[in-house]
Structure 1
Amino acid sequence: MSKKKKVRVELRKNREKPPRENDITRDFKEGDGRADDARTNERVRAKGAISRYRTVVQDEAANGTAMPAVNVGECLRGRVLRVHGLASVVETDDGRVFRCAVRRLLKSLATDERSVVTTGDVVWIRPAGTGTSGRAPAPSPTDDAGNGEPDDAAPQPPTSDGLSAPQEGMIERVEPRHGVLTRASRRREHVLVANVDQLVIVMSLVEPSLKPHLIDRYLAAAQQGGLKPVLCLNKADLLTDPTELQPLIGLYAQMGVPVYLCSARTGYGIPRLQEQLRGRSTVFSGQSGVGKSSLLNAVQPDLALAVKSVSEVNQKGRHTTTYSQLIKLNFGGWVVDTPGVRQLQLWDARPEEMEGYFPEFRPFVPLCSFPDCTHTHELNCAVKDAVARRLITSRRYHSYLGLFHGNADE
C-alpha cells in the first residue's frame, strides 16, 4: 500500500507581469508625472526571478516514485484516448467515457514537457459533481501558489471539436509512463504517445518518396523510448522495380527490425501486419501523406479514418490527422494514429550518446585511437575506416552525422 507524505514541489515561474524598471519613489519626489501612470501592483524583482513552490500531499509508490495523492474512493482509473487543446477524452476501466480538463496543479508543475497529458496516459480522474462530501466542490478563488487562478477549473461543456463525451471529469493524477515516443519541440519535450509496446514506422515508397534518414531517426527514438521498432513500407502497388528495395530491406532485417511491404489500396501485406499488431499496443508514425490512416482503415475497415491524397504540386502529404487518438482493435490490441511529422529531432540526446543508437558501430568503437572519439574528424577512427571499407553503409553514417550535429532535417 502506498504511503502519503507532504512534499514541496516546484511550480513554473510567474512570467505574466514585467519588472519595475524605474525608481518610482524618486520620480514621485521630483514631481515626475510618470509616477501617476505607474501600475500599483508592479513586481519589484525581475520577471520570473522568484521560484514558486507549493506543499502537496503525494503517494509514494513501491518503486519510490512520488505522485499527487488521490482519493481512490472518489476517483476512477482510465486511459487517455485523445487530447485536443485543453480537453482530454478518457475511457475508464469500466468502459465509461469522460471529457476531462486537467487539474491546475499538474499544469503548474515545473516540467520540460510541452503538455502534461498525452494520448495513452494512464490517469486518475474525478467525475464532475463528486467531492469529499459527495457534492460538487465549491470553486476556490485562488490556488495555493497565489497566482489568482482557480486550482481546479471546472471542465467546459462539450463543443464541436469532436471531443464531446457523455460525462465530464477532472484529471487528478498521471501515472508513470513506459514505452513513449517523444521528440524535441521548441526546446521542450513533446511526448506524442505513452504506454505503448511498439512503433510502426510508416514510410511510402513513392508519393512522397522514401526517406531513409527519417527511418534512422525513428529507430533512435524507438530505442530512446523503449519501443520495439517495426518498419512498414506502404504504396507497394506503385513501385515499378521491387528489387531496388532489397539492399534497404536487408540492412534493417540484419539489425533485427521487422520489415513489411504493404499496400493499403490493394491489401497486399495487410494480413501479416495484422498479426504484428495483434495483442499489442502500437503507435503508427511517419511523415504526412505516407498512408498511416489508410493502413489502419485496411487493418480494420470499420474505422473510417479520414484520408487525403498528397499534393500534386510538391508531392508532400497534407495534414489530415490533427491529433493522436488511441483506437481499440477488434482482433485484440490497441493502435495510435498520429499526425504526420515534417521532421523528427530527438529530445535530450547528447552528441556523445549518438553512437549508441547505431548498433553496427559497436564492434569498431573500442578500436578507435581515442576513448572519446566522436567519429567525425578524428584520425585513426575505426568507425570511419569501417565506412571506407563498406562495413558500415555511408547512408547510415550520414544519418549519424546528422543526429550528432543536431540537424533536424537530416
Structure 2
Amino acid sequence: MGKKKSNRKRKVRVALKKNRGKRARRGNLTQQARTDPERIEDIAAGERISGKGDTSRYRTVIAAETEEGGLQIDVDLSTCHAGRVLSAIGQMSRVQLDDGRKLECTVRQVVRSLARDQRNAVVTGDRVLVGDVDAETGVIERVEPRHGVLSRSSRHRAHVIVSNVDQLMVVVPADDLKPVLVDRFLVSAEQGEIAAVLCINKIDLLDPVELVGWTGLYARLGYEVVLTSAETGAGISRLRQLLADRETVFAGQSGVGKSSLLNSIQPGLRLLTGEISSSTGKGRHVTRRTELIELDGGGYVVDTPGIRQLALWDLIPEEIEGFFVEFRPFVALCHFPDCSHTHEEGCAVKRAVETELIHESRYASYLRIHAGEDLV
C-alpha cells in the first residue's frame, strides 16, 4: 500500500517575479496603495510581501499538500463560493457557481504562481473557489484537486486541456484515419484514468466495410468504437447513449467534425463549424476555446479546438508499456526485467508482434512514443 501524503498545512514561500514583466516598485506600501490600490487588494490578510533586490518578490502563504503532490492554498471558506469553470482564456474564466450564477472571473496571482509548471493555472472543467463575488464578476481564490485530466506537453510545460472528466471521445475522419494519433490519445486517456471511445466520423465518405480492420482492432482492445456521420445522422443515437450522464471531452484534429457532431446530438447548440482547407488538406481552427456544455439529456460535453499534434506530458519511457493494454500479458515474460521492448533479445512483446498477437501499427506507435517523437 502506498504511503499516504500528509495534508498538514504549512507555510510556503511563493515567488511572484515570473508573472511580472517589470521590476518591483520601490517605496512603502502606503504610497503604493494611493497609486496602485489593486495591488493592495491582492494581499489577503495573513500574507506578507518582501522584496530583496530589484526583481524578487515573494509571498508567504498557508497551504496543504494534495495527494497529487501539489499545493492547495488555505482560504476563508466562509467568504468563497464553489463553482466550475465553463471556459478559460488567458487569465479570464467563465465560472458557473453551484447556485447557478455565471460569472466572469480573474485568477488571484498567487494561484497562477503556484502553477508555474503549467501553461494555465485554471482550465475548463476545474472545480474552483471564488471570492469577491458581485453580480457579474469574481476572483478565483483556489483550484481544487483535479481528476480525469487530459493533457499534453507544450514548450516543456503541462498544457492541461480539460479536467474532471470521465470519458474521452477521440474523433477521427473515416477517410483519413491516423492510428498513430489515435494511439496517442488512448495513451493520454489511460494516463489520465479516463475511459476512451473511438468515434470514426464522416462514414458517408466511404464504404464502412473498409474500416472493419480498424474497428475490429480497437474493439478487441476493449475500446468502444462508434461509426458516425453528422451529414446523414448515422450513429448519432448511439453517440447520445454514450454521452448520457457522463462528462465527455471531444478531441481530435481540426476539421474532423467534432462541433458538427455536437450540433447533431443537441440541436440548438449552434457551434461554429468549418471546412477542410483545399490548399493544405487540413482542417481550419473554428473552435477557439475549450468549453464545457451541459446536455439536455444529462451529462456534459467539452468541445475543444483541433489538435494537430499531441506531445505527451510527464511520461517516462519505462511506464509507456503500461498504457498499451495489449502489452500487459507479455511484459512479465520478457527475458530482462527492465526490457524496453525496442531492441532486446528475448523480448516477449516483440515476439507477440511477430506472431500478430500485437498489431504492428500499435507497436509502431509505441516505438515513436518511446523515442520521444512529438509529430504525428
TM range (shorter): 0.7 to 0.9
Larger mean CA deviation between 372-381 and 284-293 belongs to 372-381
Pairing of 1:46-125 with structure 2 (within 5 A): 53-58=58-63, 67-109=72-114, 111-125=116-130
2:184 maps to 217
Matched residues in 2 for 1:179 and 1:84: separation?
20
Question: Unpaired segments of 5 or more residues in structure 1?
Answer: 19-42, 130-165
1:169 maps to 138
Whether the 8 Å CA contact 1:282–1:334 is kept in 2: the answer is yes
1:236 to partner: Cα distance: 0.8
**Which structure has greater helix proportion?**
2
| Secondary structure of 2:77's aligned partner | coil
Whether the 8 Å CA contact 1:83–1:118 is kept in 2: the answer is yes
| Residues paired across the two proteins, number | 342
- Out of 10, 15, 19, the position equivalent to 1:11 is 15
Whether the 8 Å CA contact 2:254–2:306 is kept in 1: the answer is yes
Code of the aligned partner of 1:381 = C
Matched residues in 2 for 1:339 and 1:10: separation?
33
1:12 to partner: Cα distance: 5.4
Question: Unpaired segments of 5 or more residues in structure 2?
Answer: 1-6, 24-50
Pairing of 1:247-286 with structure 2 (within 5 A): 247-286=213-252
Whether the 8 Å CA contact 1:12–1:110 is kept in 2: the answer is no
| Secondary structure of 1:182's aligned partner | strand
> Does 1:178 find its partner at 2:166?
no
| Secondary structure of 2:329's aligned partner | coil
1:392 to partner: Cα distance: 1.2
The normalised TM-score by structure 2 is: 0.85
Code of the aligned partner of 1:101 = T
| Secondary structure of 1:305's aligned partner | coil
1:5 to partner: Cα distance: 4.3
1:188 maps to 157
Matched residues in 2 for 1:127 and 1:44: separation?
30
| Secondary structure of 1:302's aligned partner | coil
Matched residues in 1 for 2:362 and 2:10: separation?
50
- Out of 317, 321, 324, the position equivalent to 2:287 is 321
Whether the 8 Å CA contact 1:4–1:69 is kept in 2: the answer is no
Q: 1:62 to 1:214 in 2, by over 3 A?
A: closer
1:118 to partner: Cα distance: 0.1
Whether the 8 Å CA contact 2:293–2:300 is kept in 1: the answer is yes
- Out of 342, 353, 365, the position equivalent to 1:399 is 365
| Secondary structure of 2:79's aligned partner | coil
Cα offsets for 1:197-231 (capped at 9, x unmatched): 1000011112xx11111010000000111100011
1:279 to partner: Cα distance: 0.6
Q: 1:182 to 1:110 in 2, by over 3 A?
A: closer
1:113 to partner: Cα distance: 0.9
The percentage of aligned residue pairs carrying the same residue is 52
Q: 1:97 to 1:319 in 2, by over 3 A?
A: same
| Secondary structure of 1:275's aligned partner | helix
- Out of 187, 192, 195, the position equivalent to 1:228 is 195
Q: 1:65 to 1:395 in 2, by over 3 A?
A: closer
1:339 to partner: Cα distance: 0.3
